[in-house]
Structures are given as structure tokens and as C-alpha cells.
Amino acid sequence: DQQVKQNSPSLSVQEGRISILNCDYTNSMFDYFLWYKKYPAEGPTFLISISSIKDKNEDGRFTVFLNKSAKHLSLHIVPSQPGDSAVYFCAAHSGTYKYIFGTGTRLKVLA
Amino acid sequence: EPEVTQTPSHQVTQMGQEVILRCVPISNHLYFYWYRQILGQKVEFLVSFYNNEISEKSEIFDDQFSVERPDGSNFTLKIRSTKLEDSAMYFCASSVAGQNSPLHFGNGTRLTVT
């Protein structure tokens, strides 16, 4: 039961351009969403989060957009840098203790 | 910046053996979690722990699994009789609060069951 889906397994973007990573969810009870970045041989690193009462949250180069009616969130990275190359996971939370993760999107930023 | 630490980084064990994976969460965090990632697959929730008891567990977390906070700093995951399919990266995480609070992950223990 895939409640959180990342339909693009990979994405390549030129350095300096915008990276847009997408995530869809099915459970309308989710009220808190997060994005994580993961390098090989490391644990996921928290990037940015958004509560369901907002539709946008920004932190430096990272912006998360939430469209509740479409059950869709996206992460924008601008400008993209080679160091951003990693696997990005979205995660969602519904008031229980469990955070549910998507399958990840591998971002490659080309120099 | 405080971090979650996990030991060992890699554990190899034979099928049927018991393993204990260790974690030291961030010191002022109150909620603790174990997740796992089978190679190439998604990060899966195993269990959450608060106030010295399990607050939630997944269907993966069967009777072969247990967690413990034996002292004020360590948080352990025990697998009593390992199976081949337990081979995965196991990540410990902690958070300040149980809701609307990001999880902070360790770098994981790679468990290989032969």
C-alpha cells in the first residue's frame, strides 16, 4: 500500500537551473510533510518541512509547495548545485507516530 | 551540531543468530525510531518508542524484533533469530516531539545475513 509515491526514479538537471522533485500521496489525513536528502552510505538528512495549513515553505534554495486538493507536494531547488546530487525522499505524517516515506528520486546535477 | 550515532556500521551474521543494533539518539530528543531500507527499496517504518514503551509498530516488527532503552542514552534494536530477508540498512532516528517534528537519522547499520 503505497501511500506516498515518487513517480520519477531519477532526474538530471544542469547546474544553475531549477530542480523540481514531485511527490503524491493518497491519505487525506496526512498533515505534515517533509523532504530528506540521502547520500550513499549515510542516513537521510532533513531538508525542509511543511504543515498542511500552509501551501508553501521556503528555506534558502529550497522551497516546498503543497497542493492539498491534488494531494501533491513538490520540492524546488534553485539554483541547483553539483553537491545537491543525491536521492531525495518525501515523507508524510498523519498524527500517529509513523512517518511514511516515498521510494525516492535520484537527482543528478550536471556541472 | 548534535547527531544520532549508530554502531556498528556493518554487521555480518549467520541466519538464526541474534543481533543487536545500537543507537545513541540526540540527547534532548524524546521520541525514538527504527527504520530499515532493503537495497534499492523505500525507507520502511519499523517501530517508534516513547516514554520507555513502544508507541507504534509496523507489521514488519514481529515477535523476532524488540527494542530497548537500557540506560539514559542508548536505544537498541534486537533481532532474535535473523533471516536472510532481514538483510538491509537499519536506520535509527530521533525527534524532539512525536508530531510535526522532523526525524534526525543516524548513518545506519548495514546488516548482512548469510
pLDDT of residue A1: 60
User: Which chain B residues touch A49 with a CB distance below 8 Å?
Assistant: 100, 102
- Which residues on chain A are in Cβ contact (under 8 Å) with B102? 34, 46, 49
Q: Is A64 on the interface with B (CB under 8 A)?
A: no
- Whether B41 has a pLDDT exceeding 90, the answer reads no
Query: Edge to edge, what strands does the sheet with A4-5 contain?
Result: A4-5, A19-25, A72-77, A62-67, A56-59
- Residues B49-85 pLDDT 10s: 999 999 999 999 999 999 999 887 899 999 999 999 9
Nearest CA in chain A to B56: A97
Nearest CB among A41, A46, A95 relative to B103 is that of A46
Longest Cα separation, chain B: 39
pLDDT, tens digit (0-9, with 9 covering 90-100), for A2-35: 799 999 999 999 999 999 999 999 999 999 999 9
Mean pLDDT, range A98-104, rounded to an integer: 92
Is residue A69 within 8 angstroms of chain B, CB to CB? no
Q: What is the pLDDT of residue B18?
A: 97
Using DSSP bridges, classify how beta strands A32-38 and A86-93 pair: parallel, antiparallel or unpaired: antiparallel
pLDDT of A83 strictly over 90? yes
> What rounded mean pLDDT belongs to chain B?
94
pLDDT tens sequence across A28-78: 999 999 999 999 889 999 999 999 999 999 999 999 999 999 999 999 999
Q: Taking residues B85-104, report their average pLDDT.
A: 93
Contact: A44, B48; criterion CB under 8 Å:
no
Torsion angle, CA of A38/A93/A4/A6, rounded to 10 degrees? Answer: -30
Which residues are A64's β-sheet partners?
Answer: A57, A75
Tell me what pLDDT residue B54 has.
95
Contact between A4 and A98 (Cβ < 8 Å): no
Nearest to A97 among B35, B48, B107 (CB): B48
* The pLDDT value given to residue A100: 93
Q: Which residues from chain B sit within 8 angstroms of residue A66, using beta carbons?
A: none
